[in-house]
Amino acid sequence: MSEELSGNEYRQQRIENMNKLEEAGFPAFGKAFERTDRLDKLHADFEVDRVVKACGRIVAIRKMGKMAFAHISDGSFKFQVMVKKDLIGDDNFAAFKLLDLGDFIGVEGEMFMTRTEEETLRVSSWALLSKSLLPLPEKFHGLTDKETRYRQRSLDLISNPEVMEVFKQRTQVMKEIRNFLDGRGYFEVETPMLHQIAGGAAAKPFMAHYNALNTDVFMRIAPELYLKRLIVGGMDRVYEMNRNFRNEGLDRTHNPEFTALEIYEAYGDMRSMQELIQSMFTHLAETIFGKIEFEWMGNTINLTAPWREVPYQDLIREHLGADWFEKSLDEAKAKAEELEVHVEEGMDFKQVTHEIYDKTIEGTLIQPTFITRLPAELVPLANACADDPELVDVFELIIGGKEIAPAYSELNNPIEQRKRFEEQAAGDGSKIDEEFLEALEYGMPPTGGMGIGIDRLIMLLTGSDAIRDVILFPQLKPRG
């Protein structure tokens, strides 16, 4: 890298400029600067003749014979400054003309309005705060190459203000989620990222080695089992919003590390979660974005509550015919073939049905929809519906044709839980989380639980089509 850089003509020129500036009494690095305020605040409090100190990165500069204009930006706002030779003197003006795009400067001066009615700072003195040695992307088209944008997010943030805006909104949303949940008496906790057993979901984990104990550990795939142990312990409303790690594919809606919000509420069930998520999403939409309709992946999504709720089997009948569940396995397979849905040899009727749902129905549910009363086989960790042991008391929230959040009336029967773990572990006892099961045996109250993919929620709210646009440093292949 260093050889590559040293051969760069632009860098050489900037180093020469830096040396000239240092000779002129403008050291290139290492000085702090006390500003009156951030640029957005100076703009908000604009007042002609007010004397202020401001600083930022030069993002545009127009040098003329005896004066110069520049725009500086500090991430909050872009403000114009004007330098005149007769105001700051020949030497200071000559030095100013050695500045390059990307340099950080601090200026002092009075505010005024130009002929073209732009708020501007008339500079009486200036200081170099930090030299930029590499050229920034072009000012007009900016940086559009996706690979460079993801690999060099610094440059992306500098040249694409809308990217900065998305990440500011991301942080606002996460703060407001905490605010909302705290206000309802939920307690935020942090549970381990390093797990002895990767439980709480069915996904491939990342592995690491812990030297001191000479044992392998897993990066967590979900915090679920620890959060339930806290419910057992008497924390009756808990949530955790943090990273999960899954050792799987990488695409437009998947990053190997992603942010999940998991919420558990003792004495509640899937109904309390349903109320919670509707209130939370509409609250976020209104307080942060001031709207209830969002454009996402080519659809207009209206978050106005209450959202549609439909039992899984009704939804199937709606799409596949009222007599669907009277059909034979062969008839179901024939229908799958007709719909170009691939089914495996050994699949039973429920699996074929779900395959058809997955491929042809889920994607059509654009407006927020709760799918309830799923077949028990599909959801191993939930309580059965009171009126039908074949179905479980859960919902899947679908928005824009994508799964956004599942919620369960959590299974709290330790004997049943052990049975399901044993089936899942298929004879490998080391995969069973005995500490969790023991906790359950002391008794877990009836509990509602929910998981929300925060990155996908941010995608929806900011109109982003790719998860990489809402994660600052997404995973990419190493540069060959």
Please report, as ranges, the residues that interact with RNA according to CB under 7 A: 8-10, 13, 17, 60-67, 69, 71, 80, 82, 84-86, 100-101, 112, 114-118, 120, 135, 137-148, 150, 201-204, 248-249, 251-252, 342, 358-359, 403, 465-466, 468, 476-480
Q: Burial, 225: exposed, middle or buried (Cβ in 10 Å; 0-12, 13-18, 19+)?
A: buried
Specify the residue, 167 or 180, whose C-beta has the smaller distance to RNA.
Answer: 167
Shortest Cβ 418–RNA spacing (Å): 21
Shortest Cβ 7–RNA spacing (Å): 8
Specify the residue, 200 or 268, whose C-beta has the smaller distance to RNA.
Answer: 200
Specify the residue, 25 or 89, whose C-beta has the smaller distance to RNA.
Answer: 89
Specify the residue, 74 or 230, whose C-beta has the smaller distance to RNA.
Answer: 74
Specify the residue, 47 or 145, whose C-beta has the smaller distance to RNA.
Answer: 145
Shortest Cβ 219–RNA spacing (Å): 14
Instruction: Give residues with Cβ within 8 angstroms of 228, minimum separation 6.
Output: 264, 410, 436, 439, 440, 444, 447, 449
Radius of gyration from C-alpha coordinates of the chain: 29
Specify the residue, 115 or 209, whose C-beta has the smaller distance to RNA.
Answer: 115
Specify the residue, 44 or 202, whose C-beta has the smaller distance to RNA.
Answer: 202
Helices 349-356 and 312-320: angle between axes, nearest 10 degrees: 70
Q: Which amino acid is at 474?
A: P
The C-alpha atoms of residue 39 and residue 117 are separated, in whole angstroms, by: 17
Q: What is the DSSP letter of 357?
A: I
Specify the residue, 50 or 359, whose C-beta has the smaller distance to RNA.
Answer: 359
The C-alpha atoms of residue 314 and residue 356 are separated, in whole angstroms, by: 14
Shortest Cβ 66–RNA spacing (Å): 3
Q: Which amino acid is at 161?
A: P
Shortest Cβ 357–RNA spacing (Å): 10
* Total length of the chain: 480
**Tokens 């920034």 identify what position?**
136
Q: Burial, 50: exposed, middle or buried (Cβ in 10 Å; 0-12, 13-18, 19+)?
A: middle
Tokens of 421: 């773990």
Give the distance from CA 470 to its chain's centroid: 5
Shortest Cβ 303–RNA spacing (Å): 23
At 172, phi and psi to the nearest 5? -60, -45
Specify the residue, 249 or 429, whose C-beta has the smaller distance to RNA.
Answer: 249
The C-alpha atoms of residue 310 and residue 459 are separated, in whole angstroms, by: 25
* 374-to-351, 391, 449 alpha-carbon distances in Å: 12, 5, 16
The C-alpha atoms of residue 108 and residue 35 are separated, in whole angstroms, by: 9
> How many other C-beta atoms lie within 10 A of the C-beta of residue 405?
23
Q: What is the DSSP letter of 386?
A: T
Specify the residue, 238 or 459, whose C-beta has the smaller distance to RNA.
Answer: 459
Shortest Cβ 291–RNA spacing (Å): 25
At 197, phi and psi to the nearest 5? -130, 130
Shortest Cβ 380–RNA spacing (Å): 11
Shortest Cβ 464–RNA spacing (Å): 10
Shortest Cβ 405–RNA spacing (Å): 12
